[in-house]
Chain A
């Protein structure tokens, strides 16, 4: 029954003449949580950004919802029910929480705004309390919640998250991950999660990929990877 939502086929991405992705294959099915883990500089962010069209893949194909999006400009790709919470959050610091959320919904009809706002305020009550506060003055955890909430305002089918746990206390990480789990379970939201925090990510995800040096070296279900010796040695040192 599961339908393919995102297919990455032999994608190669370069920064100038330097190769960053060396033929990546990856699938995300409708309703799945898929995680991508790997060391610093492995190319995880590059892959996520390539899916969004900047930088563009030099080789290979990216298919979203049956449509080849490899050559589309970024803003066209983001019009297609893909939303992203980028690395480093990148919220708009001088805008209020509410304005940030409004930016997330900028491509939508105005009618659905209130409804979507209720949804994200329900998921992250702290944002509702801080609705009028400037984004830049939020704490790191609140900023991350805002980044995710802003992405959700676009009503995505596929949510791309780049290291949402970066620099957050374990308790906040748990809260954010449980929100992701809830969204996936209750609304069937498909999630592609890039993480350094391999333990939590693999526990949460249905399937995972391991990236080394711009290549996918391992794949399997979350718990398979969690119990693989190579994964444990490389990414889970002292985590369990």
Chain B
């Protein structure tokens, strides 16, 4: 402690780091609040992208925070930033998580009603939420149970194809197929789990990677069932308690509620479906972490041998992690299928697994809020990079932004990993704390000696 405060001279890299963090938060916030604005353009609503405004805001935050770090905090006893920026940062992030989670949830719930939201934003939000859900699902396997799974997309694919095939063949509704798709995916989780029970780390990663590819290649070549590379088309859309989202006919959503038809209704409905699915995933994970099975997952990640010596059945623990993780992947997959209306093996390539894994790792392996933020930053960021025309102003007209999208993305990832090697939220919240443990432990000390 005293060593830390004694050292708190001008620690420039730490100040820079901290300012960078503030800028990142500002960036995440400004994407939604400043960057996009809808404007009326010749009678059409179009989306204006305010690069300068968002960029300036981020820069101001960065510079301001840096100035505070360098000149203001050190004077307040030297304990302002430097301690925070080094050791106590995770703790502060955890604090952040406490109010961040409710704020994000409220924001997600009201998003469709914000004046700024339009078709584009809602589509992007649905995409982000799908990845949030996938991230939370994989988080069970990788973050909690510590099993490095590079083939998670396989379960996403199984879920999507299960839904597509059942729905197109038997004409069952989305809400009947969804649990079935989850069950199929869970089953495949167990099928993958058995052969890899003895594997850990690199070896496990290789086998799961292969598993993901096998599933994709089977989907590609089993023409009679999956229609091969042509994919499955005309996958039924979900209905709102039996009410269809159609323009014409009876029993449609618009008809029933006596409102004018709008294609946004379905989008908003899909948005809420994935939001609820994602929140269920998260709530279940949080609940499971407190139950013996979840605690066994985390203990297994820490030390398998110690787990065995405590009487934990490692086989069951691994298989449940794989199957529950896979089940959520399957749910997300069937959502993906019903939303797209069309699926083909092309949607389930290795890059998907890599992105989901990156979300979990960036998020901080095990942190729910971290995974959510990472998904927003990654998917939102990738989407922003799709349209880099603004950079043309910077680099001249010869600059082709599309070429640089992945490069910039990769750079950003490297940057984050250098800056926070253990992910955005690396501190692990304990699942159990003793209330009034100070008072009680004092009693116990006496008892022990008595």
Contacts and interface: CB of A to CB of B under 8 A. Distances in A.
Interface of A: 52, 54, 73-75, 77-79, 83-84, 86, 90-96, 98-99, 102-104, 106-107, 118, 121-123, 125, 128-129, 131-132, 150, 154
Contact of A122 (B296, B433, B447): B447
A102 B308 contact: no
A131 B437 contact: yes
A106 B441 contact: no
A92 B432 contact: no
Interface string B422-444: 00000010111110010011001
Given A92-B299, A125-B444, A150 B310 contact: yes
A114 to B, nearest CB: 10
Contacts of A132: 430, 433-434, 437
Contacts of A102: 295, 432
B312 A92 contact: no
Given A90-B305, A121-B448, 7 more contacts: A54-B308, A78-B308, A86-B306, A98-B437, A106-B312, A122-B444, A150-B310
Interface in B304-337: 305-314
Nearest to B308: A74
- Which 4 pairs, one residue from A and one from B, show the smallest C-beta to C-beta distance? A78-B311, A128-B441, A122-B448, A90-B306
A21 B299 CA distance: 30
Nearest to B448: A122
Contacts of A74: 308-309, 311
B434 A131 contact: yes
A13 to B, nearest CB: 16
B308 A103 contact: no
Contacts of A77: 311
A102 B434 CA distance: 11
29 contacts: A54-B308, A74-B311, A75-B311, A83-B310, A86-B306, A91-B303, A91-B306, A92-B298, A92-B302, A95-B299, A95-B302, A95-B428, A96-B430, A98-B430, A98-B432, A99-B295, A99-B430, A102-B295, A103-B295, A103-B296, A103-B310, A104-B310, A106-B311, A118-B444, A121-B444, A122-B444, A122-B445, A125-B448, A128-B445
Interface residues of B, number: 30
B102 interface: no
B290 to A, nearest CB: 10
Nearest to A118: B444
Contacts of A154: 310-311
Contacts of B305: 86, 90
A131 B303 CA distance: 20
A99 B437 CA distance: 14
Most A CB atoms within 10 A — which of B306, B430, B434, B447?
Answer: B306
A92 B306 contact: yes
Contacts of A121: 441, 444, 448
Interface string B151-167: 00000000000000000
A125 B431 CA distance: 22
A231 to B, nearest CB: 29
Contact of A106 (B310, B314, B444): B310
Given A98-B432, A102-B432, A132-B433, A93 B308 contact: no
B310 A95 contact: no
A182 B39 CA distance: 79
A92 B444 contact: no
Contacts of B309: 52, 74, 78, 83-84, 86, 90
B306 A75 contact: no
B412 to A, nearest CB: 27
A62 to B, nearest CB: 16
B292 interface: yes
- Pick from B295, B298, B305, B310 the residue with the most CB of A within 10 Å: B310
